[in-house]
Structures are given as C-alpha cells and as structure tokens.
Amino acid sequence: MTPLVSGFSKLSKTDKIKWLVEHHFNNDQNAINVLTTYWNSDKKLQKLHDEFTENTISNYYLPFSIAPNFLINGKRYTLPMTIEESSVVAAASKAAKFWQNRGGFKAEVLSTVKVGQVHFSFTGDQKKLQAFVAASTAKLISSASHITNNMEKRGGGIVAIELRNKTDELDNYYQLHCTFETVDAMGANFINSCLEQFAKTLLVEAREYTDFTDQEKDIDIIMSILSNYVPDCLVKASVSCNISELPNTPQLSSYEYAEKFVRAIRIAEIEPYRAATHNKGIMNGIDAVVLATGNDFRAIEAGAHAYASRNGKYTSLTHAEIKNDIFTFSIKIPLAMGTVGGLTSLHPLVKLALQILEKPDAKKLMKITAVAGLAQNFAAINSLITTGIQQGHMKMHLMNILNQFDATEIEKKHLVNYFKTNTVTHSEVVTQIEKLRS
C-alpha cells in the first residue's frame, strides 16, 4: 500500500519523482530516466509547462500533425491536429481531398451565446421571488460592471438573466439562468466571475427587499458555475454534390452508394449504441483541432454529447439526405471555443497552430473545427459502407504493432510490403516477425 504523504505539492519536481519511484517502482532508475527524458531542454519552456498545472513531474507528448487541402467557404486551410489515434489525420485529409473538387465545405455560425447558472434554494412565495428577480436584474448586471467592462469593449458581455423554477424536479430549487457573449474568448473565467458576483448581489438585494418575509430573505446559494451545455453556441457545416459525383465502383453505383450512406446515418440517428461510436468518430476530428488550438476538449465533448441527447434520446450529430439527385451531408454542433486567453497565448505550439489557421477569430475557428468533425465522419462512413473500417485502420496501426516488437527498419520495410496484399491482424504480424527473425 502506498504510504500517506504530507506536503507533497511543496516538494521540488526532483523530490516528487524520488518519492514516486521509491514507492511505486522499487527505486528503478529506468522510471527516472523515462520521466526526465521527456523534460524539455529549454528550461524556460519547461518551467512554462510545469506551471500549467499542479504536481508536474514530466511532459506527456502527443503527435502534432497537419491535414491539408481543406476548402472551407471558398478558402483553403491546413488543419493542425493533435491526436494519438492511427488513421484519424489520414482519414480527414482523404475527405478534404475528395470534397475540394466538389465545392468544398460550407460552414456558418448560427449563434454564439454561452450559459452560466446561479443555483439556489428559496422556501417562500414563488410570485414574490419572480417579482424580486425582475426588480433586481439591472442591479445584478451593474454589480458585475467591473468584470464586464473589457468584454463589453470587445462586443461581448451579459446577454440576459432569467429566473427558472425547478421546484417540480427538486424541492425549493431555483436558478438564475444567465447567458453571455464572450466574443473570441472561450470565457469560462469571465462567466464564473460574473456568476459569483450575481450570487453576492442576490443575497444583498434579498435582505433589503421589503416584500420578503425574514424567512424569504434567507436565500441559500448552492453554487455558481458555467454550463458546458451550450445549445445556443452552434455551428453548422455541410458538403453537397450531385449523386453522379459520388464514388462509383463495380460493387456500388453512385446512387447505391448515396442510399447506403444515408441509411448508415439514419441508423446512427435511431440506434444509441451505433450513435455513440458514430459520434466518437466525429469527435476524433473535432478534439484533434480543439487540442491543437489550446481549447478545452472535455468541455467540447460534454457539450456535444449533451446536445446529441437534447430530445431525450442519444442520436447522431450528423445528418444526410438525397433530394432532387443532390446528396447533402451536414453537422450541427455546439462549440464553445476561443482564440484568446488560456493556453492560446502561452503554449508555443498552440500559437503555431493558430498561425497555421491564419489567426482565426472564435467564429472562424468554430467553423473550421466543425468541418474537421464532418470530414472525419464522412471518411469513416465511406470506409464502413465499402471496404470496412479495419482495412485502412489496421494498416495505419501496423506501425504501432511493429514498434511494440522493436522491429528494425529492414523488418518494417519487408512487413509493410507484405501487408499491402494481406490482412493486418496482431497475430499475423507476430507470426511474420517470428518468421523473419528465425
């Protein structure tokens, strides 16, 4: 059993590693070597990384890739993507290449409003509470002016404050449902600061509200926090072409391809088991761009999956249809993203990623990111309804298997050539390596 440790956060990075290796690796020097190998030789850069979060002992690297040839609203982009999964970047690039000669991707931001809530308990008259909040709204907003001034200068700020009665679901539970415009910032810190100010002002105003009884003046604030469910921070992306421009093979005509594609999407719309994997594939593309640009992929994931369940059943985030011989494939997804604040101005690779995208504002980044998800989904469905997903994925995964067995460059060359005409499986790779080495 690992011993209890006190004051761990105050230890130096070296002493943290010593403690870890002593209690988890039997003082194995190799563990120390692995951890320190990933330290950056640039001490200033390493210090920057150390200060991103707490108790850092090393860096965890992910591949930083690019996917070229994305034509979005008539402009060509190269997308930075940070992801460890094989075939994701290749699939996105393949989809981009396919659609660049068919009009490219179209994308538009539908809305950019974000949400935060002050959750509280109130045991008095509901009508009096409604009147109180209506009378206090201006005071709530003005009390946060020291927080909102700079945001307002950039065109953002508080959009609205609304009382919501949730007592049917939880006794005495109400909330201030607040909406915000944060322009090019993701805005989490801004929103949370405003909400905490609203909570303080709410308590002060309640104590001075003459229509409340003493009991009603005693509002109990539970918590004040932004929501990662942002159904009004929406972006839509789409591709379309005449059916005749779709793949045409001896196995599937263009029309059969379109019908099969639409049916595959329809399955994801009605079947939650399929929808979960379907949407995971979409998020492969989205998360990779989100990570590369220093945004919060956990928040994006939470918002996307909540949106997929908004009608009471988990469903596909993409939609496909055939109308008048035109095939259309689209996605509508909430993406609360920013291009200022957070890591966007600190992490050197994030800065580089935003430069690759020609320093987009938040709306443009939303469009680009939605397109990455749509492209990824198109590539996945294309594989599923034709060759199957494993053919391409396992060939991309082949190198990972070979590296697990420390294959030499000569062995890699031989086996890559062998598997051009043979099915890649872990057991078959092992068999062929053993044959070579014997």
Catalytic (active site) residue 85: yes
How far is Cα 92 from Cα 100, in angstroms, rounded to an integer? Answer: 12
The DSSP 8-state label assigned to residue 214 in this structure reads T
Catalytic (active site) residue 296: yes
How far is Cα 4 from Cα 356, in angstroms, rounded to an integer? Answer: 47
The pairing of strands 173-181 and 64-72 is unpaired
Alpha helix segments (H runs only) across 25-168: 29-37, 43-50, 88-100, 126-143, 145-153
Catalytic (active site) residue 15: no
How far is Cα 142 from Cα 94, in angstroms, rounded to an integer? Answer: 52
How far is Cα 118 from Cα 178, in angstroms, rounded to an integer? Answer: 8
Among 296, 347, 363, 364, which one carries the catalytic annotation? 296
Among 280, 313, 359, 426, which one carries the catalytic annotation? 280
Among 13, 18, 50, 85, which one carries the catalytic annotation? 85
- Render 138-191 in DSSP notation, one character per residue: HHHHHHTHHHHHHHHHTT-EEEEEEEEE-TTTSTTEEEEEEEEE-TTB--HHHH
Judge residue 97's burial from the number of C-beta atoms within 10 Å of its C-beta, 0-12 exposed, 13-18 middle, 19 or more buried. Answer: middle
Alpha helix segments (H runs only) across 335-437: 348-356, 362-385, 389-404, 409-418, 426-437
Q: Report the SS3 class of residue 298.
A: helix
- What distance separates the 2 farthest-apart alpha carbons in the chain? 91
Among 94, 305, 363, 393, which one carries the catalytic annotation? 393
Give the dihedral sign, CA 148/152/154/156.
positive
How far is Cα 119 from Cα 112, in angstroms, rounded to an integer? Answer: 23
Per DSSP (E only), the strands in 196-279 are 220-226, 234-242
Give the residue numbers annotated as catalytic, written as ranges: 85, 280, 296, 393
